[in-house]
Structure 1
Amino acid sequence: MLLRDLVQLVRAPAALSVPGDAVAGAAAADVLGARTAGLAAASVCLYWAGMAANDWADRDLDAVERPERPIPSGRISPDAALGIAGGLTAAGLAIAAVAGGRRALGVAIPLVGAIWAYDVKLKNTPAGPAGMALCRGLDVLLGASPGKVTRALWPALVVASHTYTVTALSRKEVHGAERTLPARTLAATAAIAAAPALGRQRRVSAALGAWYAHRYGRAQAKVLEDPSAANVRASVGAGITALPALQGALTASAGAPVTGAVLAAVAPLARALARKVSPT
């Protein structure tokens, strides 16, 4: 197994979209601090675990639809992928426990359950988008776990809603979509982009929300014009790489505009790395 094979298996650069979940949650709960970095690291491990488990669960389907992926191409064995997924899951839980103690584990354990349930059971069912949305919503709450978790329910709902749109599109990456799908996700994206401006620091949060809407919305508009598989895949990638801008908007909305702006600045880097390693 080469390092590049492992990077492709876990979609390593796509993890740039993950720390912002913990930051947005912590900002909403007013517990943004050193522990947030540890919880963000736990989230990254769990995200990578989910990607490895995804490819392990999809290995037979990928042999037909995506034979270039590490498992069907023979570069990583199914047993190795499952072991990587399990090891990263254990690492994520351990880091969460060290960073946030029992309160963090109280969110991390259900998050792990949601990740594995999505990968092995829900993904190819009508409940798939909701299952992935639940994962991202819980990830935001993990960041808030050192404080009052209920204060982070709003950003968790916003990130979950975004994730629902991305996942709904991702189900059409191979064969293309009907125009009704991007029409619905584009309308949802407009509402999601406006949500952060309801809080504090409205100018900053509104500006970052508009940036998110531009980056992700433009890709969906192309799907609306031409719902081919290539355009759908591009819109999914845009949804993943634009997420830091939304997380930044939510963080600014919670009263941390500088931190929010720093988070949003990750979006261009995520987009550049997506050209080298597919985030989907």
Structure 2
Amino acid sequence: MTALPAARDLAELVRLPAALSVPGDAWSGAAWATTSPGRGDAVTPLGSVLLYWSGMALNDWADRKVDAVERPERVIPSGRVTPAAALVVAGLLGAAGVAVTAVAGGHRALRFSVPLALLIVTYDVAAKDSPAGPLVMASTRGLDVLLGGAAAPGQAGAPAAAVAVHTAGVTLLSRGEVHGTSPLTAVAALTATGTAIGVLVSTMARDEVPLGHRRLALGFAALYGAAVGVPQARAVATPDATRARAATGAGIGGLTLLQAAWLAARGRVVPALVVATAGPLLRRAARAVSPT
């Protein structure tokens, strides 16, 4: 029988702090798909978090041989977690995540959580190092937004697109965390950040978002552009591994500000503030457990 890892090692395996960037996906999707919060708004993010943690555990299982050379301090190559235990953790978390989404949103939610779980497996096992890797990863976060907006997914398409574009840029840049990246890749990531803001601005103009909501959303968007775009611009100037890691970490944490902007545009001020504070919390927690 495979023994489960110790709590600290499990936290490292699943990148525990990075989950703070996940609930905003579901909440922003729900905000644009429905006119008022529902029961699923509180439960669906838990399913998303469980699926995210599952993907992180499976990622380390799939990368165990590469990590033995490039990142021997990680939990599997260091011997703190066995490959079998990591696979069990990934499977249990993935199954639990799908089950929670079914409880929260029924068959409508399963239309998104099941493909999301399959895409997570596809990315970790097959697509990560392929040219399609960033697109597959972007699709997982876009689906996560649509999962939150399962009641009316067509109306959640814009925030899903913005989060997906952001994720594609961060994923591209993350490939240079060990050996460095290229100026062109860093420019592509910076362009993705600008595009995500552009999707928000154009959607607010098209949907005639009230001025007060629009101003708050633009404020969060400006903070997002600074938090994510500035480290990416530094990576353009100096595309070494240190700058690539810094920009990747900023992209993971800064996503919460983009989510907050979408929530604010819909008038969900309190959820927007809650989501926005997740970024600073993630940065503090990252001192103990790396989110990348």
> What TM-score range do you get, normalising by the shorter chain?
over 0.9
Paired residues of 1:248 and 1:263 also in contact (CA < 8 A): yes
Cα displacement (A) at 1:263:
1.3
Tell me the SS of whatever aligns to 1:25. helix
Q: 1:92 aligns with which of 97, 100, 112?
A: 97
Cα displacement (A) at 1:158:
0.4
Paired residues of 1:59 and 1:72 also in contact (CA < 8 A): yes
Partner Cα separation in structure 2 for residue 191 and residue 90 of structure 1: 34
Cα displacement (A) at 1:88:
0.2
Partner Cα separation in structure 2 for residue 189 and residue 166 of structure 1: 9
Any stretches of 5+ residues in structure 1 without a counterpart? none
Give the equivalent residue in structure 2 for 1:175: 179
Q: Give the direction of change, closer, same or farther, for the CA distance of 1:258–1:196 in structure 2 (3 Å limit).
A: farther
Give the equivalent residue in structure 1 for 2:253: 241
Percent identical: 51
Q: Give the direction of change, closer, same or farther, for the CA distance of 1:197–1:258 in structure 2 (3 Å limit).
A: farther
Partner Cα separation in structure 2 for residue 177 and residue 111 of structure 1: 28
* Within-5 A mapping of 1:222-241: 222-241=234-253
TM-score, with length taken from structure 2: 0.93
Q: 2:121 aligns with which of 104, 110, 116?
A: 116
Give the equivalent residue in structure 1 for 2:30: 26
Report the more deviating stretch, 174-183 or 203-212. 174-183
Are 1:211 and 2:223 an aligned pair? Answer: yes
* Within-5 A mapping of 1:75-90: 75-90=80-95
Give the equivalent residue in structure 2 for 1:73: 78
* Within-5 A mapping of 1:132-151: 132-145=137-150, 147-151=151-155
* Within-5 A mapping of 1:26-45: 26-30=30-34, 32-45=37-50
Partner Cα separation in structure 2 for residue 189 and residue 133 of structure 1: 13
Give the equivalent residue in structure 2 for 1:265: 277
Partner Cα separation in structure 2 for residue 150 and residue 187 of structure 1: 25
Partner Cα separation in structure 2 for residue 135 and residue 32 of structure 1: 23
Paired residues of 1:5 and 1:70 also in contact (CA < 8 A): yes
Tell me the SS of whatever aligns to 1:75. coil
Q: 2:110 aligns with which of 105, 113, 123?
A: 105
Are 1:166 and 2:170 an aligned pair? Answer: yes
Paired residues of 1:202 and 1:253 also in contact (CA < 8 A): yes
Partner Cα separation in structure 1 for residue 276 and residue 200 of structure 2: 13
Deviation string 1:167-198 (CA, Å, 9 cap, x unpaired) is 00011111001111112211221231243234
Q: 2:130 aligns with which of 116, 125, 143?
A: 125
Aligned partner letter, 2:72: P
Partner Cα separation in structure 1 for residue 152 and residue 198 of structure 2: 25
Partner Cα separation in structure 2 for residue 191 and residue 15 of structure 1: 24
Aligned partner letter, 2:273: A
Give the equivalent residue in structure 1 for 2:14: 10
Report the more deviating stretch, 196-205 or 164-173. 196-205
Aligned partner letter, 1:188: A
Partner Cα separation in structure 1 for residue 286 and residue 218 of structure 2: 26
Partner Cα separation in structure 2 for residue 258 and residue 96 of structure 1: 23
Report the more deviating stretch, 234-243 or 31-40. 31-40
How many residue pairs get aligned? The number is 279
Any stretches of 5+ residues in structure 2 without a counterpart? none
Q: 2:193 aligns with which of 180, 189, 192?
A: 189
